[in-house]
C-alpha cells in the first residue's frame, strides 16, 4: 500500500478548468478571500444567502461549550419549507424537482409544486399518527419518491428521521429503531432490485416482533407502508396503514412552523470502531446551510439548466445531503433512480444520463472501477455529451480510475471534484471548486472556503508539506455532528479526546500533504473498513461471526480489493464439533450468509479462512496487521511481539 501511495504522490498531471467552464462558473475566488478574512462572517453570509429564516439569527456560532457547537442558534427556520414552499412561492412550482425512474423502467416527473403538496399531505398523516417536534420516525424504503417525501414530511414537523438503508437486515433495523426510540416506521412492501422484488416489510415485521428480553421496549405505534413491489405482506390492522389509503386522503393544506436552528433534523447510524453503530445527530440551520452552500459551489450549480444526479442511496449520508437536502434547498432538478447500475443491462446508468440529459454526475470510485473493468465500449454506446461536471465521494479514487472517469465519461474535458467528507461532517469539507481549482488525479486537494483542515502527527503538530499524518479539522463548521444519539461521552471520546489540547476534531483518516499542499487521503487509521464506499466496523462483523454457534473466535480485516477498495476478510477458529461434522466449504458458506443475514449483504465477508489459531500479543491483543498481510498476499511483517511466533506460518499455509 505505501509504495503504491508514494507512486500516487508523484502525480504531476494537472487539469485547470477550461476557459469555457470558468466563464460560465459561479465559483469565485472571492469566496476563499472572504472566508479567510472572517470565517464566521462568511458562514453568516452563506446562511443568509442560501436559507430563508422565519426568524433571523443574531449570532453565528456559540462555541462556549466545546465540543458542543451551536450555529445560528437564535434563528428559526423550517427545513422542508426551504426545500419546497419557498421555491413555489418564488414562481418555480412548475420546475421539475425529481426525474424518477424505477428499476423496471416506470417513470415519474414531479414538480416542486407537486412535491410540496405531497409532503404537506404526508405531514398531516404523520401529525394524525401523533408525530410532533422531537419525535423519531424510522424510514426503511427503496429509492422511490416517497422516500424523499417522508424525510421532508418528518422535517416539516420538527421531528427527527432515522433513515435505515434498505439493504440492512431486520436485526440491524431493530437495533436502530430501538436506539432512537422510533414511534413510526415508514416502509414499503418491497422494492425492485436486479429484476426482482426484494421484500422490505417482512424485515420491519421481524424487527418489531419477538421482544422478550429485559428492557426491550416497543416504541413503534404505527407502520406506514408504501405499495411498491406488489408482493404479499402480512398485515397488522392495529398498527399498519397503507400510504395510498392515508396520504391522498389527507389535506394538502399544511403551514410550516418555524423551529430553532438547533432543532434536531436527523439521526444516521454509522459504523464505528466498536460493535455498536453510532447514531450521528445532525441539526437544522447549520446542516442545511452547508449542504446547500456546498451543493451550489462544489457542483457549480445552475438550477435553471442543470440536471443533477447523485447515485447514492438515501440510506447513506451522501443521499441525505446531495439527494434530499442540498439539491432541493437549491431548487435543482435531479434524477432519482431506484435500481442498480447493471440491471437489466450494464449500460443502464449511461442510458439514464443520455435520456435525462444529466449535466452533473456524483458517484463513488467503486462504481467507476467496476465500469472500467467492463470496458469503455459500454458507456461509448450512449450520448454522454450533456455531462459537464463529475464528482467522486466515499473513498480514495486512484489516479487510473480518475483518468478513466474524465476521459471516457467526461469526454476528456469535464472537471472532476473529488470530495472528502463523512457522515459526521454532514457535508463536503475538502474538494476542488471546479471553476477555479486545477485538478489533480487522485487528490481531494483543498478545504472548501470556510473549512480549516490540517494534517498532524500523533501529538497534534502540523506535519507540513511533503509529509503524512492524521487528518484533523481545526475549527468548528456549520454541518458538524452535534453528538451521538444518547451518548455524549462516546461523542467526546471518539472525536475530540485525541487532540483535546488543541481542540481539533479527529476524523479517523490518514492523509498526506504533497509539495503543493494538496491533500491525499490514505484511508482509515482505525478499525473501520471502507467497502465500496460503505463504512463497516471490523468489530461489528467479528461479533456477528462469534454469535454463530460454530465459531470459537474470529478476527476480521479490510484487505485491499481492486474493485471495492477494501474487502471483508475473516479468519475464524471453528469449534471441533463443527469441524468434525461439516466440510470447510460448507462452513465458510454458512458463515458468509450468516453475516449477510445478521448485518446485511454488504457486510458479507469476501473470504472466510478457517484457521487453528489467531496471532495474539502476549497481552492477548489480536494483531490484525499481520492478518492483513496474509489477506493481501504479502510477506508477513514483524512477528516478534507475538506470544507464539509460529502462528503466522500455520495461518499462511492454511490460506494458501
Ligand atoms: C472515506 C461518506 C478518500 C473516509 C461521505 C471517510 C474518502 C469515510 C472520501 C466517511 C474521499 C469519504 N477520498 N476517502 N473523497 N470521501 N472517504 O461516513 O475514510 O460513509 O472517513 O461518508 O469515507 O464515510 P461516510
Q: Which tens digits make up the pLDDT trace of 164-194? A: 999 999 999 999 999 999 999 999 999 999 9
Q: With the CA atoms of 243, 248, 251 and 252 taken in that order, what torsion angle do they form, in degrees rounded to the nearest 10?
A: 110
Contacts for 212 with CB less than 8 Å, ≥ 6 apart:
none
Residue ranges per domain, the chain?
Answer: 532-655
Is 210 a residue whose pLDDT tops 80? no
Q: Name, in order, each residue with C-beta under 8 angstroms of 14's C-beta and a sequence gap of 6 or more.
A: 438, 439, 440
Of residues 94 and 13, which shows the higher confidence score?
Answer: 94
Spatial separation of the C-alpha atoms in residues 221 and 216, rounded to whole Å: 15
pLDDT for the residue 270:
93
Atom of ligand 1 nearest to the CA of 508: 21
Q: Does ligand 1 come within 6 angstroms of the Cβ of 421? A: yes
The helix/strand/coil state of 531 is strand
Q: Is 318 in the pocket of ligand 1 (CB under 6 A)?
A: yes
- The CA distance from 359 to 432, in Å, is 18
| Candidate of 1, 402, 530 to mutate for ligand 1, largest count of ligand atoms within 8 Å of Cβ | 530
Ligand 1, atom 12, lies closest to the CA of 394
| Residue 238 CA, ligand 1 centroid: distance in Å | 42
Identify whether the C-beta of residue 303 lies closer than 8 Å to the C-beta of residue 331: yes
pLDDT band at 212 (very low <50, low <70, confident <90, very high): low
Distance CA 303, CA 290 (A): 17
d(CA 470, ligand 1 centre) in Å: 14
Cβ of residue 535 lying under 6 Å from some atom of ligand 1: yes
For the Cβ of 51 lying below 6 angstroms from any atom of ligand 1, the answer is: no
Average pLDDT over every residue of 264-285:
92
The whole-number pLDDT of residue 198 equals 95
- Residue 184 CA to ligand 1 center (angstroms) comes to 30
Q: How confident is the model at residue 446 (pLDDT cuts 50, 70, 90)?
A: very high
CA atoms lying within 13 Å on the CB side of residue 37 = 8
Cβ count near 235 (within 10 Å):
12
- Checking if the pLDDT of 628 tops 80, the result is yes
Global pTM? 0.92
Coil, strand or helix: which one is 358?
coil
Q: Given the C-alpha cell 386522503, which residue does it identify?
A: 249
Task: Please say whether the beta carbons of 547 and 275 come within 8 A.
Answer: no
- The Cα 100–Cα 107 span in angstroms is 6
- What is the residue with the minimal CA distance to atom 24 of ligand 1? 422
Q: Ligand 1, residue 270: give the atom nearest the CA.
A: 18
Collapsed DSSP state (helix, strand, coil) of residue 208: helix
564 assigned ligand-binding residue? no
CA 398–ligand 1 middle distance (angstroms):
14
Reading the block at residue 477, the C-alpha cell is 463548521
- Distance from the alpha carbon of residue 393 to the mean position of ligand 1, in angstroms: 7
Q: What is the distance in A from the centroid of ligand 1 to the CA of 423?
A: 8
CA distance 198 to 229: 7
Nearest to 605 by CA among 572, 579, 647, 637: 572
Please give the pLDDT value at position 164. 97
| Ligand 1 site, residue 521, Cβ cutoff 6 A | yes
The annotation status of 195 as a binding-site residue, yes or no, is yes
In this structure, the residue with its CA closest to atom 5 of ligand 1 is: 422
Of residues 218 and 345, the one with the higher pLDDT is 345
Q: Best substitution site from 314, 494, 509, 520 to test ligand 1's pocket, by max atoms within 8 Å of Cβ? A: 509
Using CA atoms, how far residue 67 sits from 70, 274, 296, 504, in Å, is 10, 21, 28, 9
| ipTM over 0.85 threshold | yes
Give the per-residue pLDDT at 437: 97
Answer yes or no: is 194 a known binding residue.
yes
Instruction: State yes or no: 270 annotated in a binding site.
Output: no
* 3-class state of residue 121 by DSSP: helix
pLDDT at position 2 is: 44
Mutate to test the pocket of ligand 1, among 278, 282, 420 (most ligand atoms within 8 A of CB): 420
Which phi and psi angles does 653 have, rounded to 5°? Answer: -70, -35
What's the whole-number mean pLDDT along residues 271-284?
A: 88
Read off the pLDDT of each residue in 225-254 and give the average, rounded to a whole number: 98
- Which residue puts its alpha carbon closest to atom 10 of ligand 1? 422
**pLDDT score, position 30:** 97
Residue 10 pLDDT exceeds 90: no
Averaged pLDDT for residues 473-493: 97
- Position 211 pLDDT exceeds 70: no
pLDDT digit string (tens) for 37-78?
999 999 999 999 999 999 999 999 999 999 999 999 999 999
Which has the higher per-residue pLDDT, 458 or 526? 458
* pLDDT computed for residue 597 by the predictor: 93
Res 275: pLDDT? 74
The b/e string for 157-170 (b: 16+ C-beta within 10 A; e otherwise) is bbbbbbbbbbbbbb
Least confident of 158-162, 296-300, 443-447, 629-633: 629-633
Q: In this predicted structure, what is the pLDDT of residue 3? A: 44
pLDDT for res 1:
40
Q: Average pLDDT of the chain?
A: 94
- Crossing angle of the two packed helices 112-128 and 145-156, in degrees rounded to 10: 60
DSSP letter for each residue of 24-49: H----THHHHHHHH-HHHHHHHHHHH
Query: Is the Cβ atom of 322 under 6 angstroms away from ligand 1?
Result: no
pLDDT at 87: 98
Determine whether the shortest distance from the Cβ of 317 to ligand 1 is under 6 A. yes
Residue 453: is its pLDDT beyond 90? yes
* pLDDT for res 276: 82
- Res. 213: pLDDT tops 70: no
Cβ contact 166:140 at 8 Å: yes
375: CB partners within 8 A, 6+ apart = none
pLDDT of residue 573: 94
CATH number corresponding to 532-655:
3.30.300.30
Determine whether the shortest distance from the Cβ of 395 to ligand 1 is under 6 A: yes
- Is 9's pLDDT higher than 60? no
Ligand 1: residue of 272, 369, 395 to mutate (most ligand atoms within 8 A of CB) is 395
Amino acid at each position: 500500500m505505501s509504495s503504491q501511495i508514494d507512486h500516487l504522490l508523484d502525480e504531476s498531471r494537472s487539469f485547470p478548468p477550461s476557459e469555457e467552464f470558468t466563464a460560465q462558473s459561479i465559483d469565485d475566488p472571492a469566496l476563499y478571500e472572504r472566508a479567510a478574512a472572517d470565517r464566521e462572517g462568511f458562514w453568516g453570509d452563506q446562511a443568509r444567502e442560501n436559507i430563508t429564516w422565519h426568524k433571523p439569527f443574531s449570532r453565528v456560532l456559540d462555541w462556549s461549550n466545546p465540543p458542543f457547537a451551536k450555529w445560528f442558534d437564535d434563528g428559526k427556520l423550517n427545513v422542508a419549507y426551504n426545500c419546497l414552499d419557498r421555491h413555489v412561492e418564488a414562481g418555480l412550482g412548475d420546475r421539475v424537482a425529481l426525474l424518477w425512474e424505477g428499476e423496471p423502467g416506470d417513470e415519474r416527473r414531479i414538480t416542486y409544486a407537486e412535491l410540496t403538496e405531497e409532503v404537506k399531505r404526508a405531514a398531516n398523516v404523520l401529525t394524525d399518527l401523533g408525530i410532533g417536534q422531537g419525535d423519531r420516525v424510522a424510514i426503511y424504503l427503496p429509492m422511490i419518491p416517497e422516500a424523499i417525501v417522508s424525510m421532508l414530511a418528518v422535517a416539516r414537523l420538527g421531528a427527527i428521521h432515522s433513515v435505515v438503508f434498505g439493504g440492512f437486515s431486520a436485526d440491524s433495523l431493530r437495533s436502530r429503531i430501538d436506539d432512537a426510540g422510533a414511534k413510526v416506521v415508514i416502509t414499503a412492501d418491497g422494492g425492485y432490485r436486479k429484476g426482482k422484488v426484494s421484500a422490505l416489510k417482512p424485515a420491519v415485521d421481524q424487527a418489531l416482533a419477538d421482544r422478550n428480553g429485559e428492557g426491550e421496549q416497543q416504541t413503534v405505534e404505527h407502520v406506514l407502508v408504501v405499495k411498491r413491489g406488489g408482493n404479499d405482506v402480512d398485515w397488522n390492522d392495529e398498527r399498519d396503514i397503507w400510504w395510498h389509503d392515508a396520504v391522498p386522503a389527507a389535506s394538502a393544506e399544511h403551514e410550516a412552523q418555524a423551529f430553532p436552528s438547533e432543532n434536531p433534523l436527523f439521526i444516521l447510524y454509522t459504523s464505528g470502531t466498536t460493535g455498536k453503530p453510532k447514531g450521528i445527530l445532525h441539526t437544522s440551520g447549520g446542516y442545511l446551510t452547508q449542504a446547500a452552500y456546498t451543493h451550489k459551489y462544489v457542483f457549480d450549480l445552475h438550477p435553471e439548466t442543470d440536471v443533477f444526479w447523485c447515485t447514492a442511496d438515501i440510506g447513506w449520508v451522501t443521499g441525505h445531503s446531495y439527494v434530499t437536502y442540498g439539491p432541493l434547498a437549491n431548487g435543482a432538478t435531479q434524477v432519482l433512480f431506484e435500481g442498480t447500475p447493471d440491471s437489466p443491462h450494464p449500460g443502464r446508468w449511461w442510458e439514464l444520463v443520455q435520456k435525462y440529459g444529466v449535466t452533473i454526475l456524483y458517484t463513488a470510485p467503486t462504481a467507476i472501477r467496476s465500469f472500467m473493468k467492463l470496458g469503455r465500449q459500454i458507456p461509448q454506446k450512449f450520448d454522454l455529451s450533456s455531462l459537464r461536471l463529475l464528482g467522486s465521494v466515499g473513498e480514495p479514487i486512484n489516479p487510473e480510475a480518475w483518468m478513466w472517469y474524465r476521459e471516457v465519461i467526461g469526454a476528456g474535458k469535464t472537471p472532476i471534484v473529488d470530495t472528502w467528507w463523512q457522515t459526521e461532517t454532514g457535508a463536503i469539507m475538502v474538494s476542488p471548486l471546479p471553476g477555479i481549482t486545477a485538478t489533480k488525479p487522485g487528490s481531494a486537494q483543498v478545504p472548501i472556503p470556510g473549512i480549516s483542515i490540517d494534517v498532524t502527527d500523533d501529538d497534534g503538530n502540523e506535519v507540513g508539506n511533503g509529509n503524512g499524518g492524521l487528518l484533523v479539522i481545526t475549527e468548528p463548521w456549520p454541518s458538524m455532528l452535534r453528538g451521538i444519539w444518547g451518548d455524549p461521552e462516546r461523542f467526546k471520546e471518539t472525536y475530540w479526546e485525541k487532540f483535546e489540547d488543541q481542540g481539533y476534531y479527529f476524523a479517523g483518516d490518514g492523509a498526506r500533504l504533497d509539495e503543493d499542499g494538496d491533500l491525499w487521503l490514505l484511508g482509515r487509521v482505525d478499525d473501520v473498513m471502507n467497502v465500496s464506499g460503505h463504512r463497516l466496523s471490523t468489530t461489528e462483523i467479528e461479533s456477528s461471526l462469534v454469535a454463530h454457534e460454530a465459531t470459537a473466535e474470529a478476527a476480521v480485516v479490510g484487505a485491499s480489493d481492486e474493485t471495492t477498495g477494501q474487502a471483508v476478510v475473516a479468519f475464524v477458529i471453528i469449534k471441533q464439533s463443527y469441524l468434525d461434522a461439516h466440510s470447510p466449504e460448507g462452513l465458510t458458506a454458512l458463515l458468509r450468509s450468516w453475516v449477510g443475514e445478521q448485518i446485511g449483504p454488504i457486510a458479507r465477508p469476501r473470504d472466510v479462512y478457517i484457521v487453528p489459531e489467531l496471532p495474539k500479543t502476549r497481552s492477548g491483543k489480536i494483531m490484525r496487521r499481520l492478518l492483513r498481510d496474509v489477506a493481501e498476499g504479502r510477506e508477513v511483517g514483524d512477528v516478534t511481539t507475538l506470544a507464539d511466533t509460529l502462528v503466522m506460518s500455520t495461518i499462511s499455509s492454511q490460506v494458501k
